[in-house]
Amino acid sequence: MNKRIVQVIIHLAAWVCFLLLPFVFFPRPKDFSFFSEKYLSAFFISNTLLLIAFYYINTYLIIPKLLEHKKFVSYTLIILAFLIFYGSFPRLYHYFIGPDPRPPGMRPPDPGRPRNFQQPLLAPGNIAVFLLIFVFSTGIKVINQWLKSEQRNKEIANEKLNAELSFLKAQINPHFLFNTLNNIYALASTQSEYTAPAIMKLSSIMRYVLTEARNDMVSLEKEIQFTTNYIELLKMRLTDKSSIDFTVIGDPFSKQIAPLLLLPFVENAFKYGISTREKSPILILLEIKEDSLYFSVTNHKHIPTSLKVADNTGIGINNTRRRLDLLYDDRHVLKIDDEAGKFTVHLNIQV
């Protein structure tokens, strides 16, 4: 059976039981002549329906809008307002709706006088039941949110580990290292001045993967430097047909980002956008704003036109999609344009 249907059935059963409690346990007065059964039934049903309404308003409206956003003062004031209203509901009901419950001899001679028989301004029984429903609804919501948060943290940890392993297997794999070391060897054999910088870039990449990438978040400056080093190493094995333009606009200072988040899109561009026979420009842009990042990668497609790049990006982009969903949830927008001869990634992140 659908989980949602089961929850609805459970809620209905619980409220039916709750609704029947007053009729089972409420003590009837000995002189019952001035309290009609219809009067009591209508009062208890109205009373209980108000509690049910408060339960769902508190659970699905007040808590998500106020308590979860740490607006404690507003939340407290609204709960107190509900408490006062529900505590005074019996008095309001008898005054505006219910009949005068007093015996005929005790009724005021003037029919125009308010039908306000002596009772507390706030009914203690109503206050107690309201507090019970309040604690119950708030407790369930808070516990559910805590459980979801714990589950989410576990998923983030697992996805981070999978992303790191995927990176080690798919990005910094033996094939990549073999080609890079061959290029460095070629530079060294010709005594090129670029040998030492190439070795330093490879060392920085490995250090970043083994140390910084283990953290939940890294500074944006380090992620940019890591991406730059990766691009520079890949450029060593490209021909003059290829051109790489990596532009950073804005100040990355004090900004943080999840590690290895941008790299799969860059690697994908090199994997499918490089050709030794045709011009292969790759445009990479990172625009840093006050509270957001915009990252885009554009490359030509040098694969059969019948084959979509998005269908063959492997675990890299798929893992990145999942990590974005877990780490940034509704704070990101990822759009991929897979056209006939061009592939473009657009990523907006709120930081």
Is residue 270 classed exposed, middle or buried when 0-12, 13-18 and 19+ CB atoms within 10 A define those classes?
buried
Q: Would you state the pLDDT for residue 32?
A: 46
Q: Would you state the pLDDT for residue 117?
A: 46
Tokens of 245: 């333009």
User: For residue 267, is it left (φ>0), alpha (ψ between -120 and 50) or beta?
Assistant: alpha
Q: Would you state the pLDDT for residue 303?
A: 63
pLDDT of 95-152, one tens digit each?
776 555 555 555 554 444 444 445 567 888 888 888 888 888 888 888 888 888 888 8
HSE (side-chain half, CA atoms, 13 Å) at 252: 17
Tokens of 249: 């606009």
Q: Would you state the pLDDT for residue 249?
A: 96
Cα distance between residue 311 and residue 323, in whole Å: 19
The tens-digit pLDDT sequence of the chain (351 residues) is 566 777 778 777 777 776 666 555 554 544 444 445 565 667 777 888 888 898 889 888 998 888 888 888 999 999 999 999 988 888 887 777 655 555 555 555 444 444 444 556 788 888 888 888 888 888 888 888 888 888 888 888 777 766 665 664 454 556 567 767 887 888 888 888 888 888 988 888 888 888 887 788 899 999 999 999 989 888 877 778 889 999 999 999 889 998 888 988 998 898 888 888 888 999 999 999 989 999 999 999 876 444 444 444 445 677 788 888 878 888 999 999 988 889 999 999 998
- Domains within the chain, CATH numbers bracketed: 3-151 (no CATH), 171-350 (3.30.565.10)
- The residues that bridge with 249 in the sheet, in sequence order, are 287
Distance of CA 210 to the CA centre of its chain: 28
Q: Would you state the pLDDT for residue 24?
A: 57
Q: What are phi and psi of 97, to 5 degrees?
A: -120, -55
Q: Would you state the pLDDT for residue 296?
A: 97
